[in-house]
A = this chain, B = another copy of it.
Amino acid sequence: MAIQANSPQCHSMPQTNCSTCRLNTLCLPISLELQDINKLDEIVQRGRPIQKGDRVYHAGEKFRSVYAVRSGAIKTIANTQDGQEQITGFYLPSEIIGMDGLATNAHSNTAVALETSAVCEIPFSRLEELSAQLPNLQRRFFQLMSKEIANDQQLITLLSKNNADQRIASLLLSISARNHNRGLAAEEFYLPMSRSDIGNYLGLTIETVSRVMGRLHKTGIIELDKKHVKILDMAALRSLAFSSDKH
């Protein structure tokens, strides 16, 4: 718990508005003028930190807000008809969650913190009003939803066409790239999720996840110590993820 509280993402916590947030070149405010950012800022509610395992919202809850991840990491879980759970995404700082609730006015997913995290709550009715006034914000929000669709479709392809090695390699590359975008190292990072979460997300068993990660380690492509990953051979990892032959 002490380790979680000291996680490196937490130094963005003292930020109290969007215009000074170091994530504002990635998050919802992109392409907004300073005065428009301030308008957005007025409707954003910053909550207290949430602990590992806490929910941001849960399936069935009335849809009121979307949330920007400010620090930490969040997983979203969809419940299937037969009572199983499917992790539909891992979300890192600057990424937006909660858009699943729009269609039916109730969240279809549950969002759970993977470690101590902070989120900015954005009441959707206010965001809608503001979007009608600020064309750039409307466009930006459409784009965010479209990005979500594109991400989901990439996962669909991964699950439909790729073997275990390719799925794991792709996940590592995705996290690496997103960290890099936020100004962190692309080659070295902590995985905020458990092996079981990875398996659930990628449609694999925990044993297979463990074996594949072990193999990547043995072949010298990554260094691995529990959740600490260091990519030693980025090119090899890429060619593994994107090679068309399954063997």
A contact residues vs B (CB 8 Å cutoff): 78, 80-84, 86, 88, 99-104, 108-109, 128, 131-133, 135, 138-139, 141-150, 152-157, 159-161, 200-203, 241-244
B138 touches A203 (CB 8 A): no
What distance in Å separates the Cβ of A195 from its nearest Cβ neighbour in chain B?
16
B150 touches A153 (CB 8 A): no
Minimum CB distance partner of A202 in chain B: B160
What distance in Å separates the Cβ of A167 from its nearest Cβ neighbour in chain B?
10
A156 touches B156 (CB 8 A): yes
A194 to B2, CA, bound (A): 56
A83 touches B244 (CB 8 A): yes
A11 to B123, CA, bound (A): 44
Partner of A159, one of B83, B160, B243: B160
Minimum CB distance partner of A87 in chain B: B160
Partner of A138, one of B131, B155, B243: B131
Of listed A108, A138, A148, A156, residue having the most chain B CB within 10 A: A156
B residues within 8 A CB of A154? 78
What distance in Å separates the Cβ of A74 from its nearest Cβ neighbour in chain B?
15
Partner of A152, one of B109, B138, B156, B241: B156
B residues within 8 A CB of A133? 132
Partner of A88, one of B82, B153, B242, B243: B153
Q: A78-B153, A242-B81 are in contact. Are A135 and B142 (CB under 8 A)?
A: no
A142 touches B102 (CB 8 A): yes
A201 to B146, CA, bound (A): 20
Q: Rank and list the top 7 A-B pairs by shortest CB-CB distance, nearest first.
A: A160-B203, A102-B146, A152-B152, A82-B244, A103-B146, A159-B159, A86-B157
A86 to B155, CA, bound (A): 11
